Amino acid sequence: MKLARFAALALSALLIGTAAHAQDKVSLRLNWYLGGLHVPFYYGKDRGFYAAEGIDLTINEGRGSANTVQVVAAGSDTFGLADSSSVILTAAKGADVKSVMSLLNTTGFSVVSLAEAPIRTPKDLEGKKVAVSPGDPLGQLLQAVCKANSVDCGKIGMVQVDPAAKVVTVLEKKTDALLGGADDQYFLIKYKGGNPVAMRYADFGANIVGMTIMTSGDTLKKNPDLVKRFVRATAKSWAEAKKNPGGAVDAAMKAKPDLNRQSTLDQLMVDIDLLDSKNSKGRIGWGAQADWDQTLAILRNYRDLQTDKPWTAFHTNEFVPQ
């Protein structure tokens, strides 16, 4: 009898232990190749924050936010890191996706120039030539900056170049500035020997929500607990990366040893600064209605967004930790 009882207890312990160590296989599709913006996810995986939430995380590099939204909508990846405009515009056209973390509540979109001939205010843009890539949303959204600051966008020369050529055109002084990211092209110029200056859209009346974490409607309906655990682990990963940015970069370099450590760290520090907006502070992943409403208004006016849905159709704070 005692032997049977012992066997039953042993079996029960084995089953409990197996359940406790069962991990949900989850994939996260980034918006681009590994850079400073992505460091906290690798840090969280390295530190075991996702594993502690029962998540076996695979991180996949991306090929642009629009592509990331599409692959998540198709179910190829569980979660995606994508800018808010890509999420909203794709969802408005019928894709069943939604933001579950308003990660960067300030956009890094900027006019990047050289300090020897700086563009510090929108008025400085008149009469200047600016490098922009075909189809790049920064060109369209620059109109919002112009309108908010009584600048004539028609007086700005928009020079169409391939994405990789934007930095070169500025360094070779073929253009006066480029439209790019405060956490991206800014540092590409810096580490090629230039002295960059960034005029951020957000500082001149044209802020939109930056990067979000999104998932499919199917995942939200079928596995909300997984979404909650993933968001909790991601919030912790970013919070810990803020405390130890250097260590976070070191963790990311285990996955990609050829990263430029200093450049990646510089990018991360800018992205940490972009977590909050004037309306959203103190809770990583929480989105303010004012920021999302302004984002929708700007996209309607300058990106041909066709929707009358409220901001809650595109983002939810339901899963963000208190």
In CATH, what number is assigned to the domain containing residue 263?
A: 3.40.190.10
**Domain C-terminal end among 204, 229, 255:** 204
Which is nearest to 133 in space by CA: 113, 106, 158, 110?
158
**Domain C-terminal end among 204, 225, 241:** 204
Same domain, 102 and 171: no
Determine, yes or no, domain membership for 192. Answer: yes
Q: Going along the chain, which residue ranges are E strands?
A: 24-29, 55-60, 79-83, 97-102, 109-114, 129-132, 157-160, 177-181, 196-200, 211-216
Q: Retrieve residue 168's tokens.
A: 């070169």
Are residues 92 and 262 in contact, defined by beta-carbon separation less than 8 angstroms? no
Q: SS3 sequence, 72-93?
A: HHCCCCCEEEEEHHHHHHHHHC
Same domain, 224 and 97: yes
Q: How many helices (H) and strands (E) does the chain have?
A: 13, 10
CA 170, chain centre distance (Å): 25
Residue 4 confidence (pLDDT) = 53
Determine, yes or no, domain membership for 320. Answer: no
Residue 136 confidence (pLDDT) = 78
Same domain, 96 and 121: no
Residue 103 confidence (pLDDT) = 98
Q: Tens of pLDDT along the chain (322 residues)?
A: 455 555 555 555 444 444 445 899 999 999 989 999 999 999 999 999 999 999 999 999 998 899 999 999 999 999 999 999 999 999 999 999 999 999 999 999 999 999 999 999 999 999 999 999 887 789 989 999 999 999 999 999 999 999 889 999 999 999 999 999 999 899 999 999 999 999 999 999 999 999 999 999 999 999 999 999 999 999 999 999 999 999 999 999 999 999 999 999 999 999 999 999 999 988 999 999 999 999 999 999 999 999 999 999 999 999 999 8
Residue type for 89, please?
Answer: L
Residue 31: DSSP 8-state: S
Same domain, 172 and 191: yes
Same domain, 180 and 238: no
Q: Which distant-in-sequence residues (6+ apart) come within 8 Å of 15 by Cβ?
A: none
Same domain, 200 and 236: no
Residue 5 confidence (pLDDT) = 57
Same domain, 225 and 265: yes
Determine, yes or no, domain membership for 200. Answer: yes
Prediction pTM value: 0.89
Helix%, strand%, coil% for the chain, nearest 5: 50, 15, 35
CA torsion sign for 314, 83, 30, 51 is negative
Q: What angle do CA 169, 172, 178 make, to 5 degrees?
A: 35
- 176 SS3 class: coil
Q: Which distant-in-sequence residues (6+ apart) come within 8 Å of 98 by Cβ?
A: 87, 91, 214, 215, 217, 220, 313, 314, 315, 316
Same domain, 8 and 92: yes
Domains identified in the chain, total number = 2
**Domain C-terminal end among 186, 204, 222:** 204
Same domain, 199 and 216: no
Which is nearest to 127 in space by CA: 153, 160, 166?
153
Determine, yes or no, domain membership for 15. Answer: yes
Determine, yes or no, domain membership for 98. Answer: yes
Q: Retrieve residue 248's tokens.
A: 């976070």
Determine, yes or no, domain membership for 321. Answer: no
Same domain, 194 and 223: no
* Residue 66 exposure: Cα atoms within 13 Å on the Cβ side: 6
Residue 236 confidence (pLDDT) = 98
Determine, yes or no, domain membership for 319. Answer: no
Same domain, 266 and 301: yes
* Residue 116, domain extent: 109-204
Same domain, 135 and 101: no
Are residues 82 and 91 in contact, defined by beta-carbon separation less than 8 angstroms? no
